Amino acid sequence: MVFSKRKASLFLLAAVICVLASFFIPLRAEAARVLSSEVIKFGPEETVADDLYLFGNTVTVSGTVLGDTIIFAREAIIDGKIKGSLLVFAEMVRVTGEVEGTARGASNSFFFQGSTARDLLVAANTISVTGSIGWDFFGAASNLTVTGPVGRDMKVATKRLVVDGPVGGSIETTTDELIIGPGAKIGGRITYTSEKEATVDQNAVIGGVVKRLEPVAEPAVTPPGRRAWRFARPIFSLLLVALLMALFFPVLTAGAAQTIRGRAALSTGYGALVVFAAPIASLILLFTVIGLPVALLTMLLYTVLLYLSRIFAGYFLAQLALDYFNKKLHPVWTALFGVLVLALLTRIPFIGWLIHLAAVLIASGAFIAYLASNKEQRTNCA
């Protein structure tokens, strides 16, 4: 059975939450060991007293890590002991060791055969849990099998879920197929959203009620009014911000737009640097306690800049058109006209995204160049 849009959205949401939540593992920037190699192996006799960051093709951790462990690899095997938390991104992950903190991961195939004293959060195509989970289990997968003990609750989104082991709390899931095996011992209730009834073995023990919820029916055809509103709403929002910018920051808006005309190449270079480098820098800063506030502030300013860049680009387009026809408009009308035209251009099928990308690159860079030139002028005057 194919995922409905709602179930697919739940799957994606769970995966995104799992990955985003993983960045907030408390890390110590002043104590970390970083290794990058094709093959990385830590033997059973090795002990790492710091946090451990591993980047490689094949990574094996058989020793003891006293801090947190982060792994990026094609294949990751953890059969040692991790005193802190575990974060792993790999095509195949196999955990047979012991994690005293929370274990988080994203992969194609995730096999959890060890233990974690706290939570397990995983997004993968296939998840198999035969190990022990001390607290809660959050998962998103196409196929998910749980036979190991879960200390508290399970909340998962999956196409096929098999539970054949003890769960101390309740189970909440959205799934196409739910199977409760003979070895299942559920301490609480089971709430599942599915189009068909669950298969519950007669030997399974369930402490609470089993409740099935019908998936919310999706309309076959979106009403025309709703489609029109979805199309117009972001345009209206952008026009409102353009109006405010033209009213309260007319010099800044016109100056950034004028910079595009006079320094197009420089603006594009600055824009490419900001658009592509800022997220990477923020991601790196997220791994440190000291850099976390800076990273969050950077991403906030980055988002605002990308949004405002469309206004600067629209103003520039309107100026070009007005100059071509030898016309003049009030700055407010110039901004509104240009932003409206640009918003419509970016919605052209197949090429709209290219127009949008070009506008953001050039205009965001022009804004940076404009601020830099103003600072230089003030310095020279002083």
pLDDT for 23? 40
| Residue % of the chain over a pLDDT of 90 | 48
pLDDT for 282? 74
Confidence of residue 110 (pLDDT cuts 50, 70, 90): very high
Integer Cα distance of 220 and 355 in angstroms:
32
pLDDT tens column, 197-217: 999 999 999 999 999 998 876
Task: Give domain limits for the chain.
Answer: 11-213, 224-376
Neighbour tally for 332: CB within 10 Å: 15
- Least confident among 18-32, 120-134, 264-278, 349-363: 18-32
pLDDT top residue among 111 and 35: 111
pLDDT for 83? 95
Convert 33-69 to b/e letters by CB count within 10 Å (16 or more is b): eeeeeeebebeeeeebeebbbbebebbbbbbbbbbbb
How far is CA 352 from its chain centroid? 24
pLDDT for 3? 40
pLDDT for 63? 95
Confidence of residue 376 (pLDDT cuts 50, 70, 90): low
Integer Cα distance of 317 and 310 in angstroms:
10
What integer best gives the mean pLDDT of the chain?
85
pLDDT for 29? 39
pTM score, whole prediction: 0.57
pLDDT tens column, 2-54: 444 444 444 444 444 444 444 444 434 345 788 878 899 999 999 999 899 88
